[in-house]
Amino acid sequence: HLFNTSHSNIVQGDFTVRFRVLDASLVTIAFDSRKVAKNLENISFSYHLPPDALVPAGRLTFIFEVLNSTTRVKHTVSTLWYQLPLRMAAHSIEQDKVDASLGDIVTVTMVPGILDDLGAFRPFGAKSAPQRHFVMDLRGPTGL
């Protein structure tokens, strides 16, 4: 519900309500926007993450924004998140140096993805790859 100090349930006005869903790489995977000047019902949004969705492990973030329809100035932003219990994995890992020393630059290529509930590797698509950032933890034989 939208509310302020004098109204407990605001359903219409000169404002726009936006709803965004972001994956753990902060890639927007869903978006909805509604102008509610003539709205008569409670404002609600819903989102269902498909079982075959390819999103990275981590937080699935839901952002709700209320902004002035004319000036586009944000009035209110509310965020909540859900932790996705996924396992990240990489396939076809290659590096340009086998024996590297501290301070060396090593180029590592990989196909990032997730392991599904059955342990099968599911790679992220090339379409979303430029929007994503991954971190790789490299360890030597001694664990450092």
What does pLDDT average to over the chain?
81
Assign 131 a pLDDT band (cuts: 50, 70, 90): confident
Supply the pLDDT for residue 5: 47
pLDDT at 48: 93
List, for residues 69-115, the tens digit of each pLDDT value: 778 788 788 899 999 888 988 889 898 988 878 888 888 888 888 99
Asked if residue 52 has pLDDT above 90, the reply is no
Q: Report whether pLDDT(9) > 80.
A: no
20 pLDDT tier (thresholds 50, 70, 90) = very high
Give the integer Cα–Cα distance in Å for 4 and 127.
Answer: 42
- What is the reported pTM? 0.71
